[in-house]
Amino acid sequence: MSLLEVSDLDVHYRRRRGRLHALRNVSLRLDPGETIGVIGETGSGKSTLARAVLGLVPPSSGRIVIDGEQVSSYGKRQWQAFRRRGILQYVFQDPLRSLDPDLTIRESLAEPLRIQGRTGENVRKYLDRVRLSEDLLDRLPAELSGGQRQRVAVARALVSEPKLILLDEPVSALDAANRVKVLELLKELRDAGTALLFISHDLGSVAGIADRIAVLYQGELVEDGPTRQVITEPRHAYTKLLIDSVPTLRKAVTA
Amino acid sequence: MPRRVLGLLSGRIAVGVLIAVALLAILGPLLAPYDPLEGGSDLLAGPSGAHWLGTDYLGRDVLSRLLDGSRVSVLGSVQVALVALVAGVVPGILSVYLGAVFEWVTLRLADTLIALPFLVFAVAVTALLGNGIPQAMFTVGIMISPLFYRVSRAATLAVARSPYVEAAIIAGASVGWVVRRHVWVKVLPPIAVALANTAGVGFVVVSSLTFLGIGVQPPAPTWGGVLAADLGYLTFRPWAPLVPTFLIMATAWACNLLADAIRDVSGAAGRTLLLEKERRRVAA
Amino acid sequence: MSLLELSNVRISLHGEELVHGVSFALEPGGVVGIVGESGSGKTLTCRAALGILPEGITVTGGSIELDGRDLDGIGAKEWTALRGTTISAVFQDPASYLNPSLTIGSQIAEVVRVKLGLKRRAARERAIELLGAVRLRDPAEVYRQYPHELSGGMLQRSLIAAAIAAGPKVLIADEATTALDVTVQAEILDLLRDLRRETGLALVVVSHDLAVVAQLCEEVLVMRAGEVVEQGTVEQVLHRPRHEYTRLLIEEHEAYGWEKYLVSS
């Protein structure tokens, strides 16, 4: 059984004149432990896809099934109950704003557990897992660097032991050293069996850890296949353009 | 929070003054040396051994009137603040969360209240609910509540769309959780400041209503009432308004000081301060 | 003779040195790349060459020579005369460099009128010509549009048009493609390459992404914390990196990027 199954998903926003189709007929499957990279540029609908899977945007039509539950038909209460199972977590792009500036790292980490009614005492080990010192537990986000904060955000996503983590441009705002650290971490998670849905505008940064690549273009899924195949034999013209556009060191030297 | 406020010198001073004001409100009527309503033959007398603050135009002892009036004044002010707080802050925060209809209705209500002429409204309410101090204070509180509504709504809106609130929602948090855990701390400081401003306004408004015979009936003393009476006889006792003015100002000033202290210690800045202290204590 | 030559340039803020000696020489039609993260000093170096260092920050050592002229101690008037006509620049967030309430065309025409002294009509024609030169599809239409009507890529093209309006010899592109989509970034990089070929424009390309710089440049400087940690031809830097930081940048691409798929294909 798939962990995440999106079928024929349509999302449109009402505008003053007519409708804006953010997503059109998108179907996507993700098996347990699998990592998929969803690539899309500005206006591709990638953020809408993430928000729809998270239940923050209602689908106009189509189905979303997560871990056997058809969440696309859920109301507010059912969503809340589903979310408290802790199956699904999210890591945001902007590490500066994704932690409450008034809460200590300990409190931020414990929050998902406390929402579930658990004590949230045992968050220490998750800092270890993202290779941060336990000394940071009683600090405030403002005392941490951007890279540390993003690793705390990853740790917060881990405390409920989710089966699926959505990542929205998790390394775009970081410098090279921290990008490598966070990517390393994500690779470990993948190897430990957590499914990742990695959303990015940059094919280059996703290719290294994704089993499969899906390409969104103007709200439609134009390509979906194993990473190697998508990169070496892209079928859609847009994917080809995308691949030609990514700056690589190799191209630079052979050009 | 209280511990952190008291950690600041300004917080300690503010709390000290406010405790003194509270004691005055509780014990004032008992301490009054004369009957505050009993007139004497000595009109508009200067300070003397018998009358420390002199007498007013009916020969009543000013000190007794101020002491006796402090309970009504302070209670009235507190009531104004509480009514404004409940009527403004609660719908202000909820307007962000309870959907478009509630939002629209409360926004229009706030606009309407701002547009209503204050005195006409006060007269209408006393006609409806009867004349008395609670009714008058209730009216004033309602009239001020749009300020609290706006302030708390703006602060809530700023927090509501932030990623950490979305992260909490994705973890299954309810509206109540989000408000308690994330919103409240950010809304509190601006509300505290608004509240402090309101407390000062409360004293003055009570006295202006007294002129119209609304709320406190003229013979009964209040700080504002004594001030108003003193202003009428400036030529005879030019220094007299200073004493009630000082009481009102000191209270309002202490409220503002407290609000500033609350703002300084709440939020990340205040916590850093405290965490630093604790760390140093642990290290020592 | 070099067009732009920096020798051992040091930049300080109130006695605290932020950039510890940068040297490079840009030949006519040449391209020099600077790689580094925010805080590495790459942007300060560029700003020094443009005479637009922030308040309190000054060049405290070395020399900058532009088109055979030492820039040490020249006045504000001379800087204004140099900027646009000899050296020019484009930056990261194009929208913030345009006035949202004026049309794109009027803002470019203004540059042309001030810098080249053209009359209104001639300036308009020249502006449309420039918008065409940066390969905007319908230059006359873009001329009449406001910034909010254009995409990020189109705005950056417009700014490049404004930057080259007065025929500068050197163009500094400081993170000029960072905020853009990958496909748009490729187009802008192509445009810069073509401008260089067609007009002999010399480029200084600044980016946090080694691959972007490597694609366009012959010589690369890798900066970190105000220090040039690596300098040489692209070949040297990519194949024989000497500094640990350069190796990290390369490793990032090879281990987490998709270079590994390209190797096997």
Closest by CA to C83, choosing from C196, C171, C201, is C171
Q: Does C151 touch chain A (CB under 8 A)?
A: yes
Please indicate, yes or no, if residue B243 is contained in any of the structural domains. yes
Mean per-residue pLDDT, B1-29: 85
Q: Indicate the residue of A88, A92, A115 with minimum beta-carbon distance to B163.
A: A92
Q: Based on the number of CB atoms within 10 Å of its own CB, is B104 exposed (0-12), middle (13-18) or buried (19 or more)?
A: exposed
Q: How distant is the alpha carbon of residue A3 from its chain centre?
A: 15
Closest by CA to C221, choosing from C42, C12, C9, is C42
E strand intervals along B112-256: none
- Kindly report the nearest CA distance between residue C74 and chain A, in angstroms: 36
At residue C10, what are phi and psi to the nearest 5 degrees? -120, 140
Q: Rounded distance, CA A148 to CA A167, Å? A: 16
Q: Rounded distance, CA C187 to CA C190, Å? A: 5
Question: In this structure, are residues A48 and A11 in contact, taking their beta carbons and an 8 Å threshold?
Answer: yes
Question: In this structure, are residues A228 and A213 in contact, taking their beta carbons and an 8 Å threshold?
Answer: no
- Tell me the pLDDT band of B139, cut-offs 50, 70 and 90: confident
Mean per-residue pLDDT, B264-268: 70
Whole-structure pTM value: 0.77
Examine chains A and C and say if they touch (3+ CB pairs below 8 A): yes
Q: What is the pLDDT of residues B144-166, one digit of tens each?
A: 899 999 999 998 998 888 889 99
At residue C124, what are phi and psi to the nearest 5 degrees? -65, -45
Parallel, antiparallel, or unpaired: how do β-strands C57-66 and C170-174 relate? unpaired
The pLDDT of residue B239? 82
The CATH number of the domain holding residue B18 is 1.10.3720.10
Instruction: Choose between B215 and A50: higher pLDDT.
Output: A50
Question: In this structure, are residues C155 and C94 in contact, taking their beta carbons and an 8 Å threshold?
Answer: yes
Contact A207 C250 (CB under 8 A): no
Reported as type and span, the H/E element at residue B30 is helix B9-31
Q: Does A78 touch chain B (CB under 8 A)?
A: no
To the nearest 10 degrees (0 to 180), the angle between helices B9-31 and B62-97 is 130
To the nearest 10 degrees (0 to 180), the angle between helices B133-160 and B184-211 is 150
Question: In this structure, are residues B35 and B199 in contact, taking their beta carbons and an 8 Å threshold?
Answer: no
Q: Rounded distance, CA B170 to CA B182, Å? A: 14
Q: What is the pLDDT of residues C43-76, one digit of tens each?
A: 999 999 999 998 889 999 999 999 888 988 888 8
The pLDDT of residue B75? 83
Please indicate, yes or no, if residue B43 is contained in any of the structural domains. no
Please indicate, yes or no, if residue B101 is contained in any of the structural domains. yes
- The residue of chain B nearest to residue A97, with distances taken between CA atoms, is B163
- Kindly report the nearest CA distance between residue C36 and chain A, in angstroms: 9
Cα Rg, chain A, nearest whole Å: 19
Q: What is the pLDDT of residues C166-181, one digit of tens each?
A: 889 999 999 998 888 8
Q: List, run by run, the mean pLDDT of 10-residue segments along chain A (255 residues).
A: 92 79 92 92 88 92 94 92 92 84 91 89 87 89 88 91 91 80 87 92 83 93 92 91 83 53
Please indicate, yes or no, if residue B218 is contained in any of the structural domains. yes
Residue A94 neighbours by CB distance under 10 Å: 16
Owner of token pair 């007065």: C166
- Which residues have CB under 8 Å from B75's CB, separation 6+? B25, B133
Mean per-residue pLDDT, B226-249: 82
Q: Indicate the residue of B163, B177, B271 with minimum beta-carbon distance to A140.
A: B271
The pLDDT of residue B124? 83
Range of the domain at B12: 2-37+50-283
Q: Rounded distance, CA B160 to CA C2, Å? A: 56
Q: Rounded distance, CA B177 to CA A114, Å? A: 10
Cα Rg, chain B, nearest whole Å: 23
Question: In this structure, are residues B66 and B102 in contact, taking their beta carbons and an 8 Å threshold?
Answer: no
- Which residues have CB under 8 Å from B3's CB, separation 6+? none
Which of A51, A111, A169 is best to mutate for the B interface (most B CBs within 10 A)? A111
Chains interfacing with A (3 or more CB pairs < 8 Å): B, C
- The residue of chain A nearest to residue B160, with distances taken between CA atoms, is A100
Question: In this structure, are residues B218 and B225 in contact, taking their beta carbons and an 8 Å threshold?
Answer: yes
Question: In this structure, are residues C164 and C120 in contact, taking their beta carbons and an 8 Å threshold?
Answer: no
Q: How distant is the alpha carbon of residue B72 from its chain centre?
A: 13
Owner of token pair 């059109």: A24
Name every chain C residue with its beta carbon within 8 A of the beta carbon of A209: 256
Residue B74 token pair: 């302070």
Q: Within A20-93, where are the H helices?
A: 46-53, 76-83
Q: Indicate the residue of C38, C189, C238 with minimum beta-carbon distance to A249.
A: C238
What is this model's ipTM? 0.88
Q: Rounded distance, CA B186 to CA B268, Å? A: 10
Mean per-residue pLDDT, B51-62: 81
Please indicate, yes or no, if residue B45 is contained in any of the structural domains. no
Examine chains C and B and say if they touch (3+ CB pairs below 8 A): no
Contact C215 A252 (CB under 8 A): yes
The pLDDT of residue C205? 94
- Give the count of domains, chain B: 1
Closest by CA to C2, choosing from C21, C24, C26, is C26
Q: Does A90 touch chain B (CB under 8 A)?
A: yes
Residue A164 token pair: 């699926």
Closest by CA to B57, choosing from B235, B205, B184, is B235
The pLDDT of residue B153? 93
Q: Rounded distance, CA C22 to CA C43, Å? A: 12
Mean per-residue pLDDT, B258-265: 80
Residue C152 has pLDDT above 50, yes or no: yes
Q: What is the side-by-side order of every strand in the sheet holding A164-168?
A: A88-91, A164-168, A195-200, A35-39, A212-217, A220-226
Please indicate, yes or no, if residue B44 is contained in any of the structural domains. no
Please indicate, yes or no, if residue B73 is contained in any of the structural domains. yes
Residue B93 token pair: 């925060």
